[in-house]
Amino acid sequence: MAVCGLIEEDKIWQARFEASGCVLSIAMASLLTEHITGMTVQDALLLNDQTVEQLLKIPLGINRLQCGMLSVIALQAGLRKYKGLV
């Protein structure tokens, strides 16, 4: 999973993803790119499992939650690298 985008003045102005995986992980990546557009980098770093369930609008068990969190984890890893936090 890869998430990329355009960040200016600490705001995410555009986001895209490239993925292969289960339907849930790809659906979440699509929802996530829409959700983070216009969001600050700091706010995107605070996204968590509750965000995933709110965006998908379904409760997830532990195994399916990992699928949903995949794009969030990829996004946050990239943002931490961008901010020099890694």
Q: What is the pLDDT of residues 54-85, one digit of tens each?
A: 999 998 998 899 999 999 999 999 999 999 88
Whether the per-residue pLDDT at 48 is higher than 80: the answer is yes
Domain limits at 14? 2-82
- How large is the greatest C-alpha to C-alpha distance in the chain, in angstroms? 37
> 17 pairs with which residues across the strands?
3
Which class for 58: exposed (0-12), middle (13-18), buried (19 or more C-beta within 10 A)? exposed
C-alpha 8/C-alpha 72 separation (Å) is: 20
**pTM of the full predicted structure?**
0.90
CATH of residue 19: 3.90.1010.10
Number of compact structural domains in the chain: 1
